[in-house]
């Protein structure tokens, strides 16, 4: 089974590219982030014409996640248990955002995740990011406690570069999010909870994201912030993987590249 995670940075803007990427790479399941639309605005019909089923969770023009599968789509779930919300006003009720969707595809439970950006280390959104990751860790522990042989993948845009080698310049990120010790500790805590990051072994020294600003892509000034974390059972079945860097090129590209892994399931 070939599973891809991809922050498309607007599904409607990137529809033609999404369709072509599915065809070119023979994708079975695509976990999408930043669709930036409501459910009734998502271009479902275009994927159904290709033989895919679609599960989308979008509340407004921000965030938004989806799973596009040609190997089945069952037990669809939007928020994960304990998922926290966010509100700029600390006195207001935190609102749940469209940052997670899960479905069972051909026997594999696939989670599409768009982890909060954090914005700035002094911003309340940074604490929200850490809380989101902690609640996700608790969900992983509960899932594996219930079934140690559970076959599932949690993938998408984590907005964290876990090592210094995952950014083009640590100096450029001094005092900024994505590389701080608390964020990195939260990422590693997901692995300590039982998950294994499976993309790096197939794609050493590669980026998954290049900022639009300052011609970062053409200077090869990127980051690795998109991942697939697999449960022990699924991680053992990971056999190959690659980053479709070609998809980051040309007019109208997302600032993220698709990250693809083959599983022998």
Positions marked catalytic? 114, 157, 256
Under a CB-based contact definition with an 8 Å cutoff, are residues 6 and 225 in contact? no
3-state secondary structure at position 219: coil
> Would you say 205 is a known binding-site residue?
no
Nearest one of 164, 78, 63 to 115, comparing CA atoms = 63
Exposure letters 121-138 (e unless 16+ CB within 10 A, then b): eeeebbbbbbbbbeebbe
> Would you say 56 is a known binding-site residue?
no
- Tally Cβ neighbours within 10 Å of residue 71: 18
3-state secondary structure at position 246: helix
> Would you say 134 is a known binding-site residue?
no
> Would you say 79 is a known binding-site residue?
no
Q: What is the dihedral of CA 126, 235, 191, 36, to 10 degrees?
A: 10
Note the residue count of the chain. 265
219 class by beta-carbon count within 10 Å (0-12 exposed, 13-18 middle, 19+ buried): exposed
172 class by beta-carbon count within 10 Å (0-12 exposed, 13-18 middle, 19+ buried): exposed
> Would you say 157 is a known binding-site residue?
yes
> Would you say 255 is a known binding-site residue?
yes
Nearest one of 229, 156, 151 to 195, comparing CA atoms = 229
List the binding residues: 7, 34, 157, 159, 255-256
List the binding residues for Mg(2+): 7, 34, 157, 159, 255-256
């Amino acid at each position: 089974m070939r599973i891809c995670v991809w922050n498309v940075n607007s599904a409607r803007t990137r529809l033609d590219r999404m369709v072509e990427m599915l065809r070119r790479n023979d994708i079975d399941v695509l976990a999408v982030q930043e669709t930036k639309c409501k459910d009734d605005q998502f271009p479902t019909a275009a994927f159904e014409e290709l033989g895919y089923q679609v599960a989308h969770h979008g509340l407004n023009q921000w965030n938004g996640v989806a799973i596009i599968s040609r190997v089945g789509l069952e037990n669809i779930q939007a928020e994960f248990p304990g998922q926290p919300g966010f509100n700029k006003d600390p006195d207001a009720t935190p609102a749940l955002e469209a940052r997670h969707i899960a479905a069972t595809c051909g026997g594999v439970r696939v989670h599409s995740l768009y982890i909060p950006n954090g914005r700035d280390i002094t911003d309340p959104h940074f604490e929200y990011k850490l809380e989101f990751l902690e609640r996700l860790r608790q969900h992983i522990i509960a899932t594996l406690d219930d079934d140690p042989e559970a076959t599932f993948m949690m993938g998408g845009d984590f907005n964290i570069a876990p090592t210094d080698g995952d950014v083009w310049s640590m100096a450029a990120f001094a005092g900024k999010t994505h590389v701080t010790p608390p964020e990195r500790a939260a990422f590693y805590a997901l692995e300590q909870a039982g998950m294994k990051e499976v993309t790096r072994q197939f794609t050493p020294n590669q980026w998954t994201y290049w900022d639009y600003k300052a011609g970062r892509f053409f200077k090869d000034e990127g980051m690795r912030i998109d991942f697939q974390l697999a449960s022990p059972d699924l991680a053992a079945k990971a056999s190959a993987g690659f980053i479709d860097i070609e998809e980051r090129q040309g007019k109208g590209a997302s600032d993220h590249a698709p990250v693809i892994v083959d599983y022998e399931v």
